[in-house]
Amino acid sequence: MFKPKLKFVTLKTFTVANNLWIISVCLKTSDISELQMKTVKHGDNITIKCDLNMAEENKNNHLAWYKQNFGKLPENIVRSFGDTKKYRFDPAFNSGRFSINVDGVFDLSINEIKEDDVGTYLCGKISTSIIEFVSGALLMFEENNHWIVIALAASTIILAIMVVLFGILFKNQMKAHILFQAEHSTILNYAAVRFTQKPSSSTTCRVKDSQDVYAQIKVS
**The pLDDT value given to residue 214:** 47
Fold of the CATH domain 5-141: Immunoglobulin-like (2.60.40)
Given a cut of 80, whether residue 126 has pLDDT beyond it is: yes
Q: Please give the Cα distance from 8 to 85 (Å, whole number).
A: 28
Alpha helix (H) ranges present in 41-141?
54-57
The Cα 119–Cα 113 span in angstroms is 12
Task: Quick: pLDDT tens for 26-59.
Answer: 555 455 655 788 888 888 999 998 888 776 766 6
Sign of the CA dihedral with 145 first, then 149, 154, and 159 last? positive
DSSP string, 103-114: SSS-EEEE-S--
pTM above 0.85, yes or no: no
- pLDDT at residue 8 greater than cutoff 70: no
Report the pLDDT averaged over residues 66-77: 88
Beta strands 62-68 and 11-16: pairing type? unpaired
Q: What is the pLDDT of residue 65?
A: 92
